[in-house]
């Protein structure tokens, strides 16, 4: 009422007006941020330009943690969609944006990605969440997250087991296998789960090789010029580990010994 307004002092009215303006400005800012996130995600999903997709991912990384959940929701929708659906895109672009946010934000983003990774039942979503985490954080951090999840669950099953297998293959292929402390921790995990001996026996052999002689160097071991087996000698009388070029590019890895060579990956 008019008479009620007149009863207020100037300072009280100024306080009320300032508070109202501040509340309005916060609301507008939140809406603007949300709109920006959705705009960048739409760019990633629909813009045919790779550069535009990358720029949108970088913009989402600048926004930070608020971008993560919408991005993971987008990845879930993309993973569930079929190739002929209008919303379908190659999910790697969404993964790259998730990875960029993870790099920018750090631990809080890593925990959020890991939580979704452990819960999903979609293989495409699982794969891209895992690599978003792996590329967005350092290898030891990603491994530590997985080990914490495994120990927390009390067993090695589901997505945690799948993720650990991917970590092992990274060692086999030499990408992140120069971290001997991480390799030792991985082997320690194997020793605590009897079922791993059966399922990952040959991969454990590879880990033993890498722990013994270190990760192969691409310029000497994976030479695309020589196109011939280049053995890494562990015990020259009994065992060796070689990489052979594939016709379509890349390499296959073999564990050999007195009983002959066999392909392992």
Mean pLDDT per block of 10 residues along the chain (265 residues) reads 51 65 57 88 89 94 95 91 64 91 89 89 90 77 68 66 72 52 64 61 61 51 34 35 49 43 39
Classify residue 72: in a domain, yes or no.
yes
pLDDT of residue 110: 87
Alpha-carbon distance 219 to 104, whole Å? 32
Residues 74, 144, single domain; the answer is yes
* CB proximity list for 127: less than 8 A, separation 6 or greater: none
Q: Which two tokens stand for residue 173?
A: 């292929």
- What's the structural domain count of the chain? 2
- Burial-class residue 77 by CB neighbours within 10 Å (0-12, 13-18, 19+): middle
Q: Do 49 and 115 belong together in one domain? A: yes
Q: Is residue 4 part of a domain?
A: no
- Let me know if residue 195 belongs to a domain: yes
pLDDT of residue 219: 37
Please check whether residues 125 and 221 belong to one and the same domain.
no
In a shared domain, residues 152 and 197? yes
Same domain (yes/no): 203, 228? no
Pair 226, 122 in one domain: no
- The answer to whether residues 263 and 164 belong to one domain is no
Q: Is residue 2 part of a domain?
A: no
- At residue 158, the pLDDT reads 78
Cα–Cα dist 172/215, whole Å: 9
Q: Is there a single domain that holds both residue 55 and residue 100?
A: yes
pLDDT of residue 99: 92
Residue 219 to residue 211: CA distance in whole angstroms: 20
Q: Are 204 and 224 contained in the same domain?
A: no
Residue 59: the pLDDT is 95
Range of the domain at 178: 26-216
Per-residue model confidence (pLDDT) at position 91: 84
What gap in Å lies between CA 261 and CA 263, rounded to an integer?
7
């Amino acid at each position: 009422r008019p008479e009620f307004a007149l009863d207020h002092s100037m300072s009280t009215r100024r306080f009320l007006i300032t508070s109202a303006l501040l509340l309005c400005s916060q609301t507008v800012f939140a809406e603007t941020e949300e709109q920006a996130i959705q705009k960048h995600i739409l760019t990633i999903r629909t813009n045919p330009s790779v550069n535009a997709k990358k720029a949108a991912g970088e913009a989402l990384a600048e926004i930070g943690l608020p971008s993560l959940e919408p991005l993971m929701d987008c990845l879930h929708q993309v993973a569930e969609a079929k190739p002929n659906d209008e919303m379908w895109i190659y999910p790697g672009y969404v993964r790259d944006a998730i990875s960029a946010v993870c790099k920018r934000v750090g631990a809080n983003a890593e925990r959020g990605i890991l939580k979704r990774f452990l819960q999903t039942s979609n293989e495409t979503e699982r794969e891209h969440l895992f690599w978003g985490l792996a590329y967005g954080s350092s290898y030891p951090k990603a491994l530590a997250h997985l080990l914490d999840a495994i120990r927390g669950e009390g067993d090695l099953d589901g997505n945690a087991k799948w993720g650990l297998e991917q970590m092992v293959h990274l060692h086999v292929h030499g990408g992140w296998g120069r971290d001997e402390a991480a390799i030792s921790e991985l082997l320690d995990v194997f020793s605590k789960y009897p079922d791993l001996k059966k399922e990952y026996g040959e991969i454990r052999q590879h880990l033993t090789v890498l722990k013994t002689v270190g990760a192969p160097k691409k310029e000497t071991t994976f030479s695309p010029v020589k196109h011939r087996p280049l053995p890494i000698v562990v015990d020259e009388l009994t065992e060796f580990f070689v990489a052979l070029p594939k016709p379509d590019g890349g390499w296959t890895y073999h564990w050999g010994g007195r009983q002959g060579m066999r392909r392992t990956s």
